[in-house]
Every structure is written in structure tokens, then in C-alpha cells.
Structure 1
Amino acid sequence: MLTMTDTAAEAVKTIVARVPQAQDGGVRIRDTGPDTGFEISVAPAPEPDDVVIEGAGAKVFLDQVAATVLDERVLDAQLDDSGSVRFALANQG
């Protein structure tokens, strides 16, 4: 199952806090195919078939394909002074 670092959890919470209608929501990751990769968006709630990952008060919703592809991966993030976020994936362990 995908895990997230504390930095990624803080980034997710920061992003979600910027969207008032998604205060109790999270970041949704959807696999858009091998040529385009992943789409990340803020969502007020998971879709019915999403896998929900929670850590340090942050929620990540994965569509079924993303959940399979990202199994055994770690979501990390880098925040810069301007508030921009860059997400990265690494292998677990």
C-alpha cells in the first residue's frame, strides 16, 4: 500500500486547506495512462471505489489503477518558499 512521508502529509494538508469546499477532503491521484501518468487534484471526498490513505491528518484518495500501480511506493513532497509543491515517488524500504 502507498505510504506518505510527514513532508508529503504536510503538503497535502496545505493544498487541501487552500480549497474551502474540500476542508475535510484530500488529494486524489488518478492514473491517466502510461503516456500521461498521474493526475492530482483536490477532492472533497473519495470516489466510491477509491482507496483511502491517511497519515498525520492528511488524506490521499487513489483510484483503483493508481492504487495498484503505486502499491509498495512512498509519496514524498518538497515545499518551496513560494508555496509550490513537488511530489515524488520512491520505492518502500
Structure 2
Amino acid sequence: MLTLTSGAVQVIRTVTANPELPPETGIRITSGVNGSQALTLSVAARPEQGDEVVEAEGARVYLEPTAATMLEDKTLDAEVDPQGDVAFTIAEGPEAMA
């Protein structure tokens, strides 16, 4: 299962903290089209049918089934640069960013 670093948890909670959004809002990761290894991240009000849900310390990530398979042994990290832009990174295994 995908592992979240503390940085990813903090960024996801910040991104989804809008009081106008439902409390179950999270980040949804989908796989690319036509077998592409590219992944797309978006804010989602809730998981879609078939999504795998990863939750850590109030941060929710919804993984579309193909993306869940691609990320099952990976770690998601995130950081915010000085300009306020968010960058998500994926590393091999949960120990990669411990």
C-alpha cells in the first residue's frame, strides 16, 4: 500500500482544509491513459467506486485501481517551495523517505 511521509500528510491536509469542501475531501491519483506511466493528482470530494483509500493523520489519498497497483510499494512525499508551489514526489518503498 502507498505510504505517506509527514510532508505529504501536511501538504494534503493544507490543500484539502477549505471549509467549503466536504470533510472527506482528499487527493485523488489516477493513472495515465493508454498504458502511460504518468500519474495525475487532483482534489476530490470523495473516492470514486473502486478507489483504494489511504489515510494518515487526517490526510486522504484516493487511488484509482491502476494507480493503486502502480503505487502499492511506493512512498508519496510533498513539499512547498518558497513561491508556494506544491511538488509531489514518489519514491521506491516506504523506507526510502522514512
Q: TM-score, normalised by structure 2?
A: 0.85
Match of 2:92 in 1: 91
CA distance in 1, matches of 2:37, 2:73: 21
- Helix, strand or coil for the counterpart of 1:9? helix
Match of 2:13 in 1: 13
- Once the two structures are superposed, the pairs formed by residues 1-93 of structure 1 within 5 Å of their partners are 1-18=1-18, 20-33=20-33, 34-35=35-36, 37-92=38-93, 93=95
Give me the identity figure in percent.
37
List structure 1 segments (4+ residues) > 4 angstroms apart after TM superposition.
none
Contact 1:30-1:66 within 8 A present in 2 as well = yes
Give the length in aligned residue pairs: 93
CA distance in 2, matches of 1:80, 1:18: 20
Question: Which residues of structure 2 form unaligned runs of 5+?
Answer: none
Contact 1:3-1:73 within 8 A present in 2 as well = yes
Shift in Å, 1:21: 2.6
CA distance in 2, matches of 1:48, 1:64: 10
Question: Which residues of structure 1 form unaligned runs of 5+?
Answer: none
Q: TM-score, normalised by structure 1?
A: 0.89
CA distance in 2, matches of 1:18, 1:82: 20
